[in-house]
Structure 1
Amino acid sequence: MPMTSTYTKPEPARSEIDQIAGAAVIEFGTPWCGYCMAAQAPIAQALDAQPDVKHIKVEDGKGQPLGRSFRVKLWPTLVFMKDGREMARLVRPADAASITRALAELDAGN
């Protein structure tokens, strides 16, 4: 699945995220966040090489239950999951290489 460019509305429930089969990247951020905007090109580059990885963008903010359940503090935060389990996490990734390395952990977590 290619990179998702829009934020999911409404945000999915944590139980939905925990039930995703296979590999998934949950991206927490906001459309107005400068760090989030800067990270879009590296995220797209890394995910383009991984078409089987599901990408879900979640607009986070104060009182948003999904972000709080993952203890998100800074944006963007990428949570790499495999069959409902968190395998890796990146906060404010600056390059595609770090995202690619985290995606490799999903493959290693068979």
Structure 2
Amino acid sequence: MSVVTITKDNFKTEVLESERPVLLDFWAPWCGPCRMVSPVVDEIAAENEGFKVGKVNVDEEEELARQFRVMSIPTLIVFREGRAVTSSVGAKPKAAILKMLEG
């Protein structure tokens, strides 16, 4: 499955109404740690059908970043049944991200 670009316009349908768990990656193009995490997030999206993976560019979607109190990036948030259930700040290895999704 490919990564979905999440905006305030599609957030409700892609995240809140998703029947599958959703991993959101809050990032920015100028962020070094974000560039380290991005290929890992892309790889997870390509390998797993059980959940959806989305990316939120905090420069373009400031409203969503504020709504979820994203103060540092990268921030990863897992949503289940329309609710944020776990989050993590900073670059994480693939195994740690997959563990977030298991929970």
Range into which the TM-score falls when normalised by the shorter chain: 0.7 to 0.9
Distance 1:43 1:63, change over 3 A: closer
Q: CA deviation at 1:13?
A: 4.6
Structure 2 residue 51 is the aligned partner of structure 1 residue 59: no
CA contact (8 A) 2:27 2:34 kept: yes
Task: For 2:61 and 2:80, locate their aligned partners in 1 and report how far apart those are by CA, in whole Å.
Answer: 26
- Displacement of 1:7 after TM fit? 4.4
Go from structure 1 to structure 2 and tell me whether the alpha carbon gap of 1:93 and 1:65 turns closer, same or farther (over 3 Å shift).
Answer: same
Alpha-carbon distance in structure 2 between the residues aligned to 1:40 and 1:53: 17
In structure 2, the partner of 1:71 is 69
> Aligned-pair RMSD on alpha carbons?
2.4
> Which residue of structure 1 aligns with residue 83 of structure 2?
85
Q: Distance in 2 between matches of 1:88 and 1:56?
A: 15
Per-residue displacement from partner, 1:56-93 (whole Å, max 9, x unpaired)? 11110398111111110111111101110112111113
Task: Tell me which of 8, 20, 32 is aligned to 1:12.
Answer: 8
Give the TM-score taking structure 2 as reference length: 0.80
Flag structure 2 segments of 5+ consecutive residues without an equivalent: none
Q: 1:22 and 2:4 equivalent?
A: no
Identity value in percent: 24
| Residue in 2 that maps onto 1:32 | 30
Query: Are the counterparts in 1 of residues 34 and 91 from structure 2 also a CA contact under 8 Å?
Result: no
2:86 and 2:16 map into 1 onto residues whose CA distance is 15
